[in-house]
Amino acid sequence: AQSVTQPDIHITVSEGASLELRCNYSYGATPYLFWYVQSPGQGLQLLLKYFSGDTLVQGIKGFEAEFKRSQSSFNLRKPSVHWSDAAEYFCAVGGTMEYGNKLVFGAGTILRVKS
């Protein structure tokens, strides 16, 4: 069965510091991979996606992610965090026809930014 693991429930970083959020997945086919961000009480906003091709993908708000097939990972990175990045981040896998186009989400990582 498909599954997504986000090992870190909470992460705290200083403003201006670099960030890496981890995501590991289990999926029976070549996956589509996504990172979403959610502010409290709000819906999910897509940060970036990987469908195929270049394994380093760029997203909005200065985020990037790298797909590593050998490690079944899709970690999210940002070189310099801003206070407005504080939110919850979800990694998701799926969206392919083999699995009904639906997404499977990780449990999320809450990012806190300290000044």
Partner 1 sequence: DTGVSQDPRHKITKRGQNVTFRCDPISEHNRLYWYRQTLGQGPEFLTYFQNEAQLEKSRLLSDRFSAERPKGSFSTLEIQRTEQGDSAMYLCASSFSGEAFFGQGTRLTVV
Q: Which residues form the interface with partner 1 (CB under 8 A)? A: 4, 32, 34, 36, 41-46, 49, 51, 90, 92, 95-96, 100-108
> Which residues, 6 or more positions from 46, have their beta carbon under 8 angstroms from its beta carbon?
34, 35, 36, 59, 60
Q: Closer to partner 1 by CB, 19 or 44: give it.
A: 44
**Tally of residues, the chain:** 115
Q: Closer to partner 1 by CB, 15 or 22: give it.
A: 22
Q: Closer to partner 1 by CB, 40 or 70: give it.
A: 40
Least separation in angstroms between residue 90's CB and partner 1 is 5
Least separation in angstroms between residue 15's CB and partner 1 is 25
d(CA 71, CA 41): 33
